[in-house]
A and B are shown apart, each in its own frame.
Chain A
Amino acid sequence: MSTDEKTVAVAKRRGLSLDGWAVLLAFLAALLVRAGIFRHVPW
């Protein structure tokens, strides 16, 4: 296995899925709202 292939394999193992990133972003936003950093989100 070449260095490039190893890198891809490691990245795949360590990388979050699309779902994982979406959940992470949503929870980060929820924490910011909870902490009062985003007090009012207009619509």
Chain B
Amino acid sequence: MADAIAVPQVRSTQSGLQLLRLIPGVLLLAAVGYAGKLLEQNVGAYARAHHWTFPNIEYVLWAIVLGLVISNTVGVPEIFRAGVATYEFWLKAGIVLLGARFLLGDVLRLGGVSLALVAIELAVAITFMTFLGRAFGLRPKLTSLLAVGSAVCGVSAIIATQGAIEADDEDSSFAIAAILALGALSLFTFPLIGHALHLSDHAYGLWAGLAVDNTAEATAAGALYSDAAGKLAVLAKTTRNAMIGFVVLAYAIYWASQGQAKTVKNKAAFLWQKFPKFVLGFLLISVLATYAFFNKEQITALANLSRWAFLLTFAGVGLRTNFREMRKQGLRPFAVGAIGEVVIAVVTLGLVAGAGKLFGF
């Protein structure tokens, strides 16, 4: 009985301490993100006042660049790291809140288009990355992790697959480093290519959501182009994220058939465990918004809360990207990822152009 009383006390104390450990890093995310917002407002105004020709740089890019500078010069001290790692939490909360800006009809229509494109993207990405991994002589499980990471949703998919196929930590680190490095590159290349090709917000948003791997980077790459493109990128990426359970299950079954992973006994439970719950939250908020649970002012308030959550996310994307650490992981997984990403980006751009002609966007 004494144990039954003592254990929850110990647990609540530990939870409290863990929450306290997050505070410095969360404050750093807020400071870097808010500095990005201030720079967007003030640099533009200063340039205009002095009649300088200066591009309008959005807070998204300022926050990422500030984070990158800190991470790659002075580094992120240990005390901040736990809190900085919460950027994925803010991303997911932001996506759920963003659901208020979508009417259910739009979600179903655009989500349906996205789903068809995602299915093709998944097949192309997995097939091509598997071929490439073999051609470059990568270890088979590392190839599987890279394929899942580039086909579905970056780091989350790699971590989910690592457990399911019993891959080494080393393989997982290689794959995560490659996906993160390529995600950082896409932040700068995708908006440039989009502008060069004069893509509409709709087409660009779909493309970013289909081709950029990590959810945080896909959200940022979309927001860097325009607000509307950011919305579409989140919707397409969320559709891709919803596929994670099916892809991981397929890999788990394959590796179990090779005798190199445990057999999945309850497939429905496995799918539910791997399914990203924030997708359901996003849909539910969208349903509530559709049926006028929120008035116009409240929807604006929710959209702004979503922007604040993304502000922390974008700061985190910069702060957790350390190019020196990534370089240590070796060139071959990166080369495989890079070649694969270029092919996936070209294929998905073609898919989006085809869908644009078909559906008129």
Contact = CB atoms under 8 A, between A and B. Distances in A.
Interface of A: 3, 6-7, 11, 17-23, 25-27, 29-30, 33-34, 38-43
**Max chain A Cβ within 10 angstroms of own Cβ: one of B10, B90, B92, B280:** B92
A30 B97 CA distance: 7
B307 interface: yes
A12 B305 CA distance: 30
Contacts of B302: 29-30, 33, 41
Contact of B278 (A19, A30, A43): A19
A30 B301 CA distance: 9
Contacts of B24: none
| Prevailing SS type, chain B contact patch | helix
A22 B89 contact: yes
A27 B92 CA distance: 12
Contacts of B297: 39-40
Contacts of A40: 297, 301
A29 B278 contact: no
Q: Give the secondary structure class of A's interface.
A: helix
Contacts of B276: 19
Nearest to A25: B93
Given A26-B97, A33-B302, A7 B10 contact: yes
Interface of B: 3, 7, 10-11, 88-94, 96-97, 100, 276-278, 280-281, 284-285, 288, 293-294, 297-298, 300-302, 304-305, 307-308
A23 B301 contact: no
A22 B3 CA distance: 31
A17 B100 CA distance: 23
A23 B96 CA distance: 7
A3 B7 contact: yes
10 contacts: A11-B11, A19-B276, A23-B280, A25-B93, A26-B285, A29-B302, A30-B302, A34-B298, A39-B297, A43-B304
A42 B300 CA distance: 9
B93 A33 contact: no
A27 B11 contact: no
Given A7-B10, A18-B92, A27 B304 contact: no
A22 B281 CA distance: 9
B293 A34 contact: yes
A34 B307 CA distance: 18
B36 to A, nearest CB: 13
Nearest to A6: B7
Given A26-B97, A26-B285, A30-B97, A3 B3 contact: yes
A41 B97 CA distance: 13
Given A3-B3, A7-B7, A30-B97, A23 B89 contact: no
B26 to A, nearest CB: 13
Given A3-B3, A29-B97, A42 B277 contact: no
Given A34-B294, A34-B298, A17 B281 contact: no
Contacts of B93: 22-23, 25-26, 29
A18 B285 CA distance: 18
